[in-house]
Structure formats: C-alpha cells, structure tokens
Amino acid sequence: MKGSFNLCMLLSMFFLFSYNKVFGQVEIIKVSKQTCAIGYSKLEVEVREDGVLLDSLRRKYYDYASIYKLQDSIKLKVVEYLLQFASDTSNSCSSVQSYDNFEYPGCYNVSPVSKNFSIIIEALFIINRIAYNPVTYRIGCYPVLYDSEKKQEINNNNCLINLMVEHYREWFKMYKKTGKLPDYHFLNDGRIKWWGRHLQ
C-alpha cells in the first residue's frame, strides 16, 4: 500500500512538471535597441516564460538556446521584431569574435579583418541563433558578411549588406507561410555569405 502511495506521488509530480513544461505561458516578446556608449548600441531580445526572462545569462555570447526551444509561432514573432532593425546602420557595442562556435574548423583557418559590425548584422546574427541554435556554426561563425563575387568582407558596405537583408526577408516569408523552419543552407546560397561558410 505504501509502495502504491509513493508511486502515485511520483506520478503526480511527473505530470505536474510536464504540465508546466508544456503549458508554460510566454507573456512578453520584445526586441529593443539600447545605447551602451556614444555612437554604439545593442539589441535586447526579451522573451519571458512564466515570468522568467529566457537566456538571461549567456546572451552576451548570442546564446539563445531557451528561445530556440520554443514553438515556431513564438520564434516567428521574435524574428519579425528583429527584422525591424534590418535597416539600422548604427554600430553594435559588440566586437567581432567567434562567439563559441568551436565546432566549426573553418572559423579558425583564417580570421576576418573586420573589427565591428552594425545593428543590421547583429539582428541577422541573432536570428541565426534563435532559429538554428545547435547548428549555428554551420551557418557562420562570426558576425561578418562576405561578398563571394568581390572576395571581400562587407561589414562596412551597407548596399551589399542589404542584399543579405533581402535574402533573410525571403527566408522569413517561407518560414511564415509554412510554419516550418527552412533548411539553414538557404541563408548562404546567395552572393553574400557569412564568414566561415565562404571558406567551404
């Protein structure tokens, strides 16, 4: 009898945990631009589930593993908000680095020359992390864009960066229409590619 009682208690605890996990409520979805120095800003992605700010500890490394695990309808909304900053040419506070993509050897064969990147590139880079978190290193390691025709980095060329923005808008339309995440290869199949991927 005692064993049955303990089993019932364990089952109750399991179903309670499962209920909270499945039916956790996302209350706030917001993307804002915050100034961190004169002439420099950063994007803040705020997604709260059951009152808890997701990915609060590692976002400085552009790690959004918890948001990535949310349902597509929520990620679509975050991406939609991020794309609103896809014309912002102001500088990001963050510097160019690999941001924990240690599994991709192409990242370290040759380092990019660029030292800074714009809010536009930051928005696209965050989209990569939210949409494809486990395989981001296969898309691009650094927040650096590369022109495959001219064979050069383009972090300071807003006209060419806009080609990538339009590519992302096309990707977003496909994602929104089907409700399913397109293959990550799509993001690098145009003239403009992420640094690291162009080495392959």
Q: What is the mean pLDDT of the chain?
A: 84
User: What residue spans of 52-118 are helical by DSSP H?
Assistant: 65-68, 72-83, 106-109
Q: Is 181 part of any domain?
A: yes
Which pLDDT value is given to residue 24? 65
Measure the CA–CA gap between 56 and 4, rounded to whole angstroms.
Answer: 41
Q: Is 3 part of any domain?
A: no
Mean pLDDT is lowest, of 148-157, 170-179, 190-199, for 190-199
Measure the CA–CA gap between 83 and 173, rounded to whole angstroms.
Answer: 12
Measure the CA–CA gap between 63 and 100, rounded to whole angstroms.
Answer: 9
Range of the domain at 117: 36-199
Q: Is 17 part of any domain?
A: no
Which pLDDT value is given to residue 136? 84
CB 175 within 8 A of CB 132: no
Domains in the chain, number:
1
Express each pLDDT in 95-152 by its tens digit.
998 876 555 555 666 789 999 999 999 999 999 999 998 888 888 889 999 999 999 9
Q: Is 14 part of any domain?
A: no
Q: Is 146 part of any domain?
A: yes
